[in-house]
Amino acid sequence: MAKVTFNIPDISCGHCEQTIIKALQPLDGVRKVTVDIPSKQAEVDYDDTRITVERMKEVLTGADYPAISVQPGPRENSLSSRVAGRSCCGA
């Protein structure tokens, strides 16, 4: 499982949010789509063995919400996600 955040400057309202969710959610491999209107971002949890970030960008562009940048998130099985929130002393 992987996560990616798309920066989409054209997000402005709930209609935009619903359009983005309806465009991405049905794609094979997409698990969850969350849109944050104030930050103009869409976060997608997906199976990177079934869909690519490039494919999701194409779908967003086709829905008239092109992403201007992409921020990859940590993989669920990565070391950084397993130790998140822990300090160097284990507290």
pLDDT at 60: 97
Amino acid occupying residue 64? D
Question: Which CATH number goes with the domain that contains 22?
Answer: 3.30.70.100
pLDDT band at 70 (very low <50, low <70, confident <90, very high): confident
Residue 78 lies in a domain: no
75, part of any domain: no
Domain that holds residue 23: 2-66
Q: What are phi and psi of 44, to 5 degrees?
A: -125, 125
Give the chain's domain count.
Answer: 1
Average pLDDT over residues 72-82: 50
pLDDT of 37 strictly over 60: yes
6 DSSP 8-state letter: E
Q: Does some domain include residue 83? A: no
Residue 19 corresponds to which tokens in the numbers above? 């359009």
For residue 87, is it within any domain? no
Q: Does the pLDDT of residue 87 top 70, yes or no?
A: no
The mean predicted confidence, pLDDT, of the chain is 85
Please report whether residue 11 resides in a domain: yes
Q: Is residue 90 part of a domain?
A: no
Return the pLDDT at 83.
39
Q: Tell me, yes or no, whether 53 lies in a domain.
A: yes
Specify the higher pLDDT residue, 77 or 61: 61
Asked if the structure places residue 50 within a domain, the reply is: yes
Enter the pTM of the model. 0.78
